[in-house]
């Protein structure tokens, strides 16, 4: 009997009525349902997780269907409607410039979703490339890339993001300050 089947037998025996034995075949079938099905069954039994999934679905559907759902143009402002409270015409009210808050939130969710998807895709591409390079090259290349990865993993995500942004700003300022006056811009050289 495999380890998974043995664990499943113990779980099922604990749930069954006293005196009732669970067969190893039934436990093996239960153990081999698959990782995704087991994860889905756990999700269905977890109430707070279902609430979270519900809100994520609302967010994603609102972002995808923002042009259809949105009652107003998110950039159009009417100063006569400045800072109006929520009403039937403006579900979440208006801002200082008279723009509909509900429309702005829907389109903001759309932009946030796009940024998140692009960041994940970029991270996956970079991770696969660097991982393949390290695994294929081996030796010193693997050791150096693994130490660089360990440094990135040791730094909290928000500090890493702030550091990358600050690096880019500092780079641009330093580059413009130390550039030779006689150097031509690449775009004007043509």
Structural domain that includes position 22:
1-32
Kindly state whether residue 134 falls inside one of the protein's structural domains. no
Kindly state whether residue 174 falls inside one of the protein's structural domains. no
Kindly state whether residue 11 falls inside one of the protein's structural domains. yes
Kindly state whether residue 24 falls inside one of the protein's structural domains. yes
| pLDDT value for 152 | 82
Give me the residues paired with residue 142 across strands.
none
Q: What residues contact 13, with CB distance under 8 A and at least 6 apart?
A: 21, 22
Task: Pull the structure tokens for residue 70.
Answer: 């949105």
Q: What residues contact 109, with CB distance under 8 A and at least 6 apart?
A: 59, 62, 63, 66
- pLDDT for 93-141, tens place per residue? 999 999 999 999 999 999 999 988 998 898 889 889 988 988 888 889 9
**Are residues 1 and 24 in contact, defined by beta-carbon separation less than 8 angstroms?**
yes
pTM: 0.59
Kindly state whether residue 26 falls inside one of the protein's structural domains. yes
Kindly state whether residue 74 falls inside one of the protein's structural domains. no
Going by C-alpha positions, the residue among 122, 95, 121, 125 that lies closest to residue 108 is: 95
Going by C-alpha positions, the residue among 111, 83, 117, 112 that lies closest to residue 97 is: 83
Kindly state whether residue 6 falls inside one of the protein's structural domains. yes
Number of domains in the chain: 1
Kindly state whether residue 13 falls inside one of the protein's structural domains. yes
| pLDDT value for 10 | 63
Q: How distant, in Å, are the alpha carbons of 132, 151, 178 from that of 146?
A: 12, 9, 34
**Are residues 63 and 109 in contact, defined by beta-carbon separation less than 8 angstroms?**
yes
61-66 contacts, C-beta under 8 A, 24 or more apart:
62/106, 62/109, 63/106, 63/109, 63/110, 63/112, 63/113, 64/110, 64/113, 66/103, 66/106, 66/107, 66/109, 66/110
Please list the ranges in the chain whose pLDDT falls under 70.
1-32, 179-190
């Amino acid at each position: 009997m495999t380890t998974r089947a043995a664990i499943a037998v113990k779980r099922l025996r604990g749930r069954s009525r006293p005196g009732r034995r669970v067969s190893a075949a039934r436990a093996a079938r239960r153990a081999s349902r698959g990782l995704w099905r087991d994860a889905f069954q756990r999700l269905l039994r977890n109430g707070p997780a279902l609430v979270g999934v519900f809100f994520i679905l609302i967010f994603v559907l609102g972002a995808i269907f923002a042009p259809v759902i949105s009652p107003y143009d998110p950039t159009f402002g009417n100063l006569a409607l400045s800072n109006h409270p929520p009403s039937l015409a403006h579900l979440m009210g208006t801002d200082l410039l008279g723009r509909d808050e509900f429309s702005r939130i829907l389109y903001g969710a759309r932009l946030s979703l796009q940024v998140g998807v692009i960041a994940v895709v970029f991270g996956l591409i970079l991770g696969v490339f660097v991982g393949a390079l390290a695994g294929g090259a081996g030796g010193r290349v693997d050791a150096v890339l693994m130490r660089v990865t360990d440094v990135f993993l040791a730094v909290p995500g928000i500090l890493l993001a702030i550091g990358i942004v600050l690096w880019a700003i500092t780079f641009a300022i330093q580059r413009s300050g130390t550039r030779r006056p006689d150097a031509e811009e690449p775009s004007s050289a043509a």
